[in-house]
Amino acid sequence: MEQGTEDVPVIYLHEIKRQYMQGETTLTILNGAKLALWAGQSVALVAPSGAGKSTLLHIAGLLESPDDGEVYVGGTATSGLSDVERTQIRRTDIGFVYQSHRLLPEFSALENVMLPQMIRGLRRSETVKRATEILAYLGLGERIKHRPAELSGGEQQRVAIARAVANAPRALLADEPTGNLDPHTADHVFGALMQLVKATRVAMLIATHNMELAGRMDRRVSLVDGEVVELD
């Protein structure tokens, strides 16, 4: 993949089609969806429940394959890649944050953030250093030894964000990352995400129902009849 080029989108979804079978009927969820995600830009994906937000995020994150269309990561088409190659791109270039933190309960915050880096093959000492730095950056310097159950909801979600950016991905995809949090905590976690876009120039796509937060992002899009439309 090309590195350091900002004239191509970090992720480009081209004419994405995705259907699901529900009994005898075919549900067309995405129908020619197009979306470019650029370095350093935050994009809010705002659409009603069931519109296909998670599906779009999963396809952009190479967690799911489209029935038709192409996902380009850094200008490289991914449909012809092997599972191993796709997994490699997911590990190095894409971070994912879910509505619930999905941290491993038996590991500390530090270990949860170290794991993706260890899977990638970095030395343990390096992973400790980097995980400590990221957690401190997200205001969790005093919490690194705590297990998820010993952290508040907002802290858990910030650890999940730290884990998602541990391998310095070029894209960060978040599926209702503040959906389970009270407004004040949601604001804090959202602030952490915005801070990361500015500091690291990661391309960010956040599915959210929160119009106030969406209004603070660089760009807003929605899904209408399976296509991505720009709002504003």
Candidates 20, 119, 123, 231: give the one binding ligand ADP (CB under 6 A): 20
Listed as own residue / partner, the contacts of 103-106 with beta carbons closer than 8 Å and 24 or more positions apart are 103/148, 103/156, 103/159, 103/160, 103/163, 104/148, 105/147, 105/148, 105/149, 106/147
**Residue 206: strand pairing partners:** 44, 174
Q: Does 47 bind ligand ADP (CB under 6 A)?
A: yes
Q: How far is the CB of 214 from ligand ADP (least distance, A)?
A: 14
Map residue 30 onto helix, strand or coil: strand
Distance CA 94, CA 89 (A): 7
Q: Does 53 bind ligand ADP (CB under 6 A)?
A: yes
Distance CA 60, CA 171 (A): 9
Which of these segments, 19-27, 78-86, 150-158, 224-232, binds ligand ADP (CB under 6 A)?
19-27
Please report, for residues 22, 64, 156, the alpha-carbon distance to residue 151 in angstroms, rounded to integers and kept in the order given.
Answer: 39, 31, 6
Q: Does 75 bind ligand ADP (CB under 6 A)?
A: no
Q: Does 216 bind ligand ADP (CB under 6 A)?
A: no
Q: Does 54 bind ligand ADP (CB under 6 A)?
A: yes
Candidates 52, 95, 148, 169: give the one binding ligand ADP (CB under 6 A): 52
When the beta carbons of 65 and 152 are compared against ligand ADP, the nearer one is 65
Candidates 3, 49, 82, 125: give the one binding ligand ADP (CB under 6 A): 49
When the beta carbons of 50 and 75 are compared against ligand ADP, the nearer one is 50
Please report, for residues 148, 201, 231, the alpha-carbon distance to residue 47 in angstroms, rounded to integers and kept in the order given.
Answer: 30, 25, 11
Interface contacts to ligand ADP, rule CB under 6 A = 20, 22, 27, 29, 47, 49-55
